[in-house]
Amino acid sequence: MSETGVTQLRIGVLAIQGAFFEHRAALLKAAKNSIFSKDIDIEVKDIREPDQLLDLDGLILPGGESTTMSLFLRSSNFEDVLKEWVASKEKPKVVWGTCAGLILLSNGIEAQKEGGQSKIGGIDVTTSRNFFGRQVNSFETKVNLHNKFLLGHCGTALNGCSNSDTDAGYHGVFIRAPAVVSVDSPNVEVLATIDLPQREEPVVVGVAQDNLIATAFHPELTEDPLWHAYFIRQILERTKKGRKMEIEAIDNCLPSQ
């Protein structure tokens, strides 16, 4: 917290490909909502160099072509610096990967490319690349939510609350998307699933573990800042920059005082 009493959050978006502009806009939109205190100031930065990571509280790894992302991360020692930064216990921070970002944060990758897919790791899941097929099989569908905050705010555009609707869903955009094929630890929280007619069990498309979040779909390509609000909430809690009463108010859909 600064000397003025304002909580300052610095959030980075890896800006090499994918919808990093849309992520930035969604973060700023989410931050303006009444569930967050007016004493929270959020700065969003485009990240293209390893040394830009140092003062961040959170980082988004956008979607895009995973091979292109791997080539970039292996240049300028970015991959090693990012791994150390994510794993550091000295200054906690929160990382969210969307689409290709889910692959990067998974400890296991099914059908990994020859020569090795870049992997940051940290989430105990096995993920299948292009689980749903190629670009022509990209689609939009209802996403089932399994988290108190996400359920409580879904369908309200963050302008109210509907905690009672446990069947609430979210509109998900999937583009050559991966999916989680196995959850390999009880420490992993399943945040989101989708139902497919050809499969008996729901497909896991959103997970969290400790300070890491990953989704197979693209929340930044919708008008709803739900997932970006959840990301900000996690930063406030994990970095201990948010007061306990603020976190409780956010979770219970109450406007902050």
**Annotated binding-site members for L-glutamine:** 64-66, 129, 175-176
Q: Which two tokens stand for residue 195?
A: 């139902």
How far is CA 127 from each of CA 105, 141, 204, 247, rounded to the nearest angstrom?
9, 20, 10, 31
Among the listed residues 79, 220, 237, 246, the single catalytic one is 220
Treating both helix axes as pointing N-terminal to C-terminal, what angle do 226-238 and 20-31 enclose, rounded to 10 degrees? 70
Distance separating alpha carbons of residues 122 and 97, to the nearest angstrom:
11
Q: How far apart are CA 86 and CA 58, in angstroms?
A: 10
Looking at the DSSP bridge assignments, the partners of residue 212 are 95, 209
| Residue 253 bears catalytic tag | no
Determine which one of 23, 99, 237, 246 is catalytic: 99
Buried/exposed code over 73-93 (b: 16+ C-beta within 10 A; e: otherwise): beeeebbebbbebbeeeeeeb
Binding site residues, as ranges? 64-66, 129, 175-176
Q: Is 220 an annotated catalytic residue?
A: yes
Is 154 annotated as catalytic? no
Q: Which two tokens stand for residue 222?
A: 């919708």
> Which of 23, 153, 154, 218 is an active site residue?
218
Concatenated DSSP letters of 162-217: -TT-TT-EEEEEESS--EEEEE--TT-EEEEEE--TT-SSPEEEEEEETTEEEESS
Q: Just list the catalytic residues.
A: 99, 218, 220
